[in-house]
Structure 1
Amino acid sequence: MSNGLAEDDVPPVREEERRRRPILVAVLLVILVLLLGAAWIGFRAYLARGELKDALADVQAARSAVESGNTAQARSIAADLSRHARSAADLTSDPIWRAGEAVPWFGSDLAAVRTVAAATDTLASQVVEPLASAAAAVDPRQLTLSHGRIDLAPLIAAGPAVEKAETGFVAAQRQIDAIDEGQLVSPVSRAVTKMRTMLDAAGGQLEAVANTARLLPGMLGADGPRTYLVVAQNPAEIRATGGLIGSVTEIRTDHGAITLAAQSASFGPWAQPVFDVPAPTTALFGTVVGRYLQDANVTPDFALAARTASAMWVHEHGGVVDGVIALDPVVLSGLLRAAGPVSLPTGDTLTADNAVQLLLSDVYHRYSNPADQDAFFASAAGAVFAEVADGGASGSALVDVLAQAGASDRVRIWSSRPAEQRVLADTTLAGGLPVSTPDNAALGVYFNDATGGKMDYYLGSSVSAGAKVCRADGRVTSRVEVTLSNRAPANAATTLSDYVTGGDLFGVARGSILTRIAFYGPQGGLLGGVRSGGAGLPSVTGSDGGRPVAVVEVELTPGESKTVDVEFLGTAQKRPGVTVAVTPTLNGDGTTPVMGAPKAIGTIAVPCTPGVK
């Protein structure tokens, strides 16, 4: 007799529990694995956060050390940065972390953290370390100019390191740009934004360093002698790129040695153009562009102006021109502030404080013969060049002056070597026509004197712009407004010399200022209208490089002001951004413009009138 239960008598509930037990165990194991994985990832994320925080601090510290010229400290910081960055990359790239990236909700955050860590490691090993080791050689401030020579050997030796750094920087930028911040939690998104901001801020500086290493050796004659023209632009008689070309100095470079070869105050004109100026430029500005040195730069395209001026020089003097550098007395005043006063053959002492007034105003009261005026200007430029070439200013001071001049559009450089010109074309030194984007209508406002004197010493100007989408098709309407003022004394007609007033030579009354303003619209855009005082204003219209152009004349008596506004319709812009490139001018009151920033552009509203729509 058995008192146990037969198999058929086992309660159904217990059987169900026995069957569920393996499933429950499996679920518990999965949960345990997930918890352990989450704990593993969380712990490593905490450690990686600390490493990344230290690494980003090191990036900023290394940048500051390089900027201050402390290369030894930069190298030490770079080594510390590499340790933190490598550790962060290792902590965020193991198989468990990579598996976690496949989990919904927070997988994209893990991928973003890993990408930031990898990009930081790229910056440390491929950008900061190479640059820290080569910083002294490629920092323009460390380049010394002594007895007319720069030692190019360190700069040439640093070339490979700089090239590696530039490649690494681009790779890191691409890694960060690939992150979609819209999918991220706030702390991770902020970290990505901070990284992007840091890269954007460092990009311009790295580009400057790379361009220095890429351009300077060749331009200073590392591969053989070079010949350059330094053209002095006179903004008292304004031209689109800055001012009438008052004198030309030929300099030669050979393995770092810089010598002044020749000077010429003026040459030409020619009955026929000596350079094949494009037909659209001739249609807008006339044949004078290719016939008169003084008018080679009525076009705002500096590369074209430089090619034309160099062709004129070769036509007159022969030889080969490898490039053109343009600057004005405002830049000379900056160089004098860096190098100190210089003595001129006339007995004058040229200083940073008196250079603009002496060269652009006083000289015309002193000399009535234009040849004497040009000779005075040439001697001043030569004296400043000699002082700088002899080591009268530190590399740091010179770089600061040239950087400020570049930002103010008062120094331009063109190279006849295509490879070098391609590099220059992407910098502020190139003086190219403004380039629009889908987000921004890039406009231009350029001034050319038509008085035939030096009255632009008294010309005041202000520029404002705005843009708005007024049309149903989404096209952007941009508007630019220019106000010119004649700040000459009321008795200018009798107190200023005929050379300054123009002497009514071109039909402009003594004391008045006649200015031609060239308004350039966005690429592919259309000219909407030209007005002054609410009424239409006659203009010469055309195109330049696919940009609509309107050229108008404004004549002002002493004390008079006039405003001209022009509208353009963009065909490629999707958003109402607007920027304006403007000819660098004088203040109009005898004071020296402050270098370091482009001309301030005011903001105006664009009303959506029926005409705009």
Structure 2
Amino acid sequence: MNFVRRHPVLVVTGVLGLLLIALALLALPLRSVPADADAAKSELTAAVEAFKVGDVEVAGTHLDAARTHVDAVTDVTDGFGARVWSWVPVIGSGVGDARHLGTALSELTSAVEAARTVYPQVSGEDATLMEGKSVDLAVLADVTAALRTVEGHVDTARSHLDDVDGSAPMIGARISEARDEALDQVVPVADGIDRLLPMVDQLPATLGKDRPMKYLVAMMNPSELKYAGGSMLTFSVVTADNGTIKRGETFDVETAPQIFRNVYWDHVEGNPFVSQYSQKITHANIAPSWEVSGEETLRAWEKLRKRDVDGLIAVDVVAISRMMQVTGPVYVEGLGQLRADNVVERTAGDYERFTLAQQAERKALNRALVPAFLDQLFSGNDFVSTMQAVGDSAGGRHLAFYFRDDVTQAAAGEFGLDGALADTDHDYVGFFTQNLVGSKADFGQRKSISSEVTLREDGSAEVVMTAKVKNGNDATVDGELSAYTDPNLEGNLALFLPRGAEVSKVRVADSDGSRDAATTTGDYYGRPYVEQPSLVRAGESGTLKVTYVVPQAATVTGDSLTYLLDLDPQPTVEKAKVDVTVRFPAGFTPRPQTAAGDADSPVWTTDGDGSARWTSTTFDTRTSLTLVASRG
């Protein structure tokens, strides 16, 4: 005690020294955390990639290895030494961050483990979810429960990542980088599950758990376009009863000409694209969104067939081709093999010259494709890849589902299956064409869209939109004008505009010359549109150029402008080209940002003059673009 009283500084120094030595010893295990975390992440990535290609055994090996590394991380970050270090001022925040990262990694591993338990039931040779055109509703319930477990683990991981502070000295930058990298992976997964679960919850009822459900299947021909997609020329009805799928006979103009007679049905309220007179069911999908065109089609069908149906599946041959990439070719008796690389050409292409025998062959192929599509969709073979093909096709509007049940329809919309237009209050592009003469010339249609946006400081913008259609059909071949083999594009060009847009100028240029047109706009459920008739002869081009003001093209936050643009494609055979240039007010500098939905060209490029540009040569999917600029 005397020594302590006489030499307090030495004593305190000694105690602090011992404490530092103890803390250093306790911290030694933390040195292994980065290596184990990196190894766990690599193993998890390898496991997910193996699942994607259906190699469950290899995926399991990687997943087990990931769990070993994750447990090593959490044993350290949750251990006694780490807890002691977490009480140390300043440095302790880094230890807490490491604990959050370790827990998030553990939760993500648990999520993949939960998916692993049901994956063999969903995909692979021994899958039991779908078999013999039946969905096992008990297995579906297991899959739904597992998906909710996955959701819980992913949400917990996201919460721990959000709690990472990243301000600790020396290691803060590295921890922040790890957090941001993890969030980039976790957020899309979490959002995807949130969109998927409502649809999964509705599947039992949709598959006839409570009562038999009937769905009209309409196959669209993209060589004869309406605003929503190709003309519906082949139909069938499928019944879902307690998970068992039964498809009915196939109808077309040859086997059931009475279905294609003129008839009047009660139209959807507010739909501007309807006739006041009787018309064919092939005109039911003029409205660009399937929530309207789908209901119009079902009303027409019920008037013709006197039988109620619960929903519609609209699909074109481009979607069927995508499906065949997964499920393989289809053999049609007497007509040979249809493959992913030839089905579009054989069923929708080269309408310039036809004998009656060739036309009959195409119709036979179309009749064969509807049952082939349904057999593929409900085969259960490689279920995961099949659903990915469905999602890809729906994103390009080559496939759409419409359900009369409002809850189910809303769920389909959450997952992007409903064929609706983007519901944005900001800038918007929707360029659609409509064939007016019944020819099959739209196979040769080539679209390009150019948008020049001049932003103002209040977030409004003047936009000059130039929508162009080139007729790629052979000009040297004389088809029968205004008929099946007409090579000319004769119809309407329509630009659907942002909400609240005010049009100041419209100009049309086509085979009949160049001319100014009225600036009057139509109204499609709150979205204005400009529609003009046009004739584009084979080998020539038609252009619709519209100048308008968007009231809220960008949001304003302090010294920042955030420009927002949504684009919807029309399901043409050939992909469109898009070029968007945005010019910001003086003093604002844009910074490039990734655009969701277009892997071909996902980044804005800047020229250093206050403008930015986004281009795509293969635009064929719903796309949302965001671009931020700051003052100074």
Superposed pair shares fold, TM > 0.5: yes
Larger helix proportion of the pair: 1
Deviation at 1:110, TM superposition (A): 3.3
State whether structure 2 residue 116 is matched by structure 1 residue 132.
yes
Q: Who is 2:537 aligned against? A: 557
State whether structure 2 residue 527 is matched by structure 1 residue 547.
yes
Q: Who is 2:492 aligned against? A: 516
What CA distance in whole angstroms lies between the structure 1 residues aligned with 2:380 and 2:107? 41
- Does the aligned pair in 1 maintain the 2:208–2:243 contact within 8 Å? yes
Q: Who is 1:496 aligned against? A: 480
- Number of equivalenced pairs: 562
Q: Which runs of 5+ in 2 are unaligned?
A: 253-258, 556-561, 587-632
Q: Who is 2:248 aligned against? A: 261
Query: For residues 227 and 98 of structure 1, do their structure 2 counterparts lie closer, same or farther at Cα, with a shift above 3 Å needed?
Result: same
Q: Describe the superposition over 1:476-500 as per-residue Cα deviations: whole angstroms up to 9, x where unpaired.
A: 55554321112233355x4336422
Instruction: Write out aligned runs for 1:148-297 (5 A).
Output: 148-179=133-164, 185-200=172-187, 202-203=189-190, 214=201, 216-265=203-252, 266-267=259-260, 269-271=262-264, 273-277=265-269, 279=270, 281-282=271-272, 285-287=273-275, 292-297=280-285
Deviation at 1:65, TM superposition (A): 2.7
Q: Who is 2:518 aligned against? A: 538
Query: For residues 460 and 339 of structure 1, do their structure 2 counterparts lie closer, same or farther at Cα, with a shift above 3 Å needed?
Result: same
Q: Who is 1:343 aligned against? A: 332
What CA distance in whole angstroms lies between the structure 1 residues aligned with 2:475 and 2:233? 28
Query: For residues 82 and 441 of structure 1, do their structure 2 counterparts lie closer, same or farther at Cα, with a shift above 3 Å needed?
Result: farther
Query: For residues 481 and 21 of structure 1, do their structure 2 counterparts lie closer, same or farther at Cα, with a shift above 3 Å needed?
Result: farther
State whether structure 2 residue 365 is matched by structure 1 residue 380.
no
What CA distance in whole angstroms lies between the structure 1 residues aligned with 2:42 and 2:475? 60
Deviation at 1:583, TM superposition (A): 0.1
Q: Who is 2:104 aligned against? A: 119
Query: For residues 408 and 570 of structure 1, do their structure 2 counterparts lie closer, same or farther at Cα, with a shift above 3 Å needed?
Result: same
One-letter code aligned to 2:286: V
Deviation at 1:317, TM superposition (A): 2.4
- Does the aligned pair in 1 maintain the 2:167–2:173 contact within 8 Å? no
Deviation at 1:546, TM superposition (A): 4.0
Deviation at 1:428, TM superposition (A): 3.1
What CA distance in whole angstroms lies between the structure 1 residues aligned with 2:6 and 2:504? 79
What CA distance in whole angstroms lies between the structure 2 residues aligned with 1:398 and 1:342? 19
Deviation at 1:168, TM superposition (A): 1.9
Deviation at 1:325, TM superposition (A): 1.0
From 337, 354, 360, the equivalent of 1:365 is: 354
Q: Who is 2:298 aligned against? A: 310
From 63, 66, 73, the equivalent of 2:51 is: 66
Q: Describe the superposition over 1:353-376 as per-residue Cα deviations: whole angstroms up to 9, x where unpaired.
A: 553344335688344999x79964
What CA distance in whole angstroms lies between the structure 2 residues aligned with 1:289 and 1:160? 50
- Does the aligned pair in 2 maintain the 1:263–1:378 contact within 8 Å? no
Deviation at 1:445, TM superposition (A): 2.1
Deviation at 1:227, TM superposition (A): 1.1
State whether structure 2 residue 577 is matched by structure 1 residue 585.
no
- Does the aligned pair in 2 maintain the 1:146–1:389 contact within 8 Å? no
Q: Who is 2:8 aligned against? A: 22
State whether structure 2 residue 578 is matched by structure 1 residue 601.
yes
One-letter code aligned to 1:462: S
Deviation at 1:186, TM superposition (A): 2.6
- Does the aligned pair in 1 maintain the 2:391–2:417 contact within 8 Å? no
- Does the aligned pair in 2 maintain the 1:230–1:326 contact within 8 Å? yes
Query: For residues 177 and 101 of structure 1, do their structure 2 counterparts lie closer, same or farther at Cα, with a shift above 3 Å needed?
Result: same
Deviation at 1:171, TM superposition (A): 2.6
State whether structure 2 residue 443 is matched by structure 1 residue 461.
no
One-letter code aligned to 1:410: H
Query: For residues 74 and 340 of structure 1, do their structure 2 counterparts lie closer, same or farther at Cα, with a shift above 3 Å needed?
Result: closer
What CA distance in whole angstroms lies between the structure 1 residues aligned with 2:403 and 2:368? 25
Instruction: Write out aligned runs for 1:19-58 (5 A).
Output: 21-22=7-8, 25-26=11-12, 29-30=15-16, 32-33=18-19, 36-37=22-23, 39=24, 42-58=27-43
What CA distance in whole angstroms lies between the structure 2 residues aligned with 1:34 and 1:231? 75
TM-score normalised to structure 2 length: 0.76
Q: Describe the superposition over 1:104-155 as per-residue Cα deviations: whole angstroms up to 9, x where unpaired.
A: 6545433332221121122223x12211111122348956866544545433
Query: For residues 295 and 120 of structure 1, do their structure 2 counterparts lie closer, same or farther at Cα, with a shift above 3 Å needed?
Result: same
What CA distance in whole angstroms lies between the structure 1 residues aligned with 2:275 and 2:153? 48
Query: For residues 388 and 78 of structure 1, do their structure 2 counterparts lie closer, same or farther at Cα, with a shift above 3 Å needed?
Result: closer
From 453, 456, 460, the equivalent of 1:475 is: 460
The DSSP-based 3-state class of the residue aligned with 2:579 is strand
The DSSP-based 3-state class of the residue aligned with 1:232 is strand
Query: For residues 159 and 238 of structure 1, do their structure 2 counterparts lie closer, same or farther at Cα, with a shift above 3 Å needed?
Result: same
- Does the aligned pair in 1 maintain the 2:85–2:95 contact within 8 Å? yes
Deviation at 1:212, TM superposition (A): 7.8
- Does the aligned pair in 1 maintain the 2:494–2:529 contact within 8 Å? yes
Deviation at 1:305, TM superposition (A): 1.5
- What is the root-mean-square deviation in Å for CA atoms of aligned residues? 4.1
State whether structure 2 residue 314 is matched by structure 1 residue 330.
no
One-letter code aligned to 2:529: V
One-letter code aligned to 1:460: R
- Does the aligned pair in 1 maintain the 2:222–2:442 contact within 8 Å? yes
Q: Who is 1:507 aligned against? A: none
- Does the aligned pair in 1 maintain the 2:505–2:519 contact within 8 Å? no
The DSSP-based 3-state class of the residue aligned with 1:308 is helix
- Does the aligned pair in 1 maintain the 2:223–2:442 contact within 8 Å? yes
Q: Who is 2:415 aligned against? A: 427
The DSSP-based 3-state class of the residue aligned with 1:425 is helix
Q: Describe the superposition over 1:258-293 as per-residue Cα deviations: whole angstroms up to 9, x where unpaired.
A: 22224443346444x42333x2x32xx344799652
One-letter code aligned to 2:266: V
Query: For residues 100 and 295 of structure 1, do their structure 2 counterparts lie closer, same or farther at Cα, with a shift above 3 Å needed?
Result: farther
Larger strand proportion of the pair: 2
One-letter code aligned to 2:151: E
Query: For residues 20 and 66 of structure 1, do their structure 2 counterparts lie closer, same or farther at Cα, with a shift above 3 Å needed?
Result: farther
Deviation at 1:565, TM superposition (A): 3.6
What CA distance in whole angstroms lies between the structure 2 residues aligned with 1:342 and 1:71? 30
One-letter code aligned to 1:155: L
The DSSP-based 3-state class of the residue aligned with 1:54 is helix
Deviation at 1:238, TM superposition (A): 0.6
- Does the aligned pair in 2 maintain the 1:449–1:516 contact within 8 Å? yes
What CA distance in whole angstroms lies between the structure 2 residues aligned with 1:291 and 1:90? 71
Query: For residues 396 and 83 of structure 1, do their structure 2 counterparts lie closer, same or farther at Cα, with a shift above 3 Å needed?
Result: closer
The DSSP-based 3-state class of the residue aligned with 2:33 is helix
Instruction: Write out aligned runs for 1:396-415 (5 A).
Output: 398-399=386-387, 401-415=389-403
Aligned-residue sequence identity (percent) comes to 20
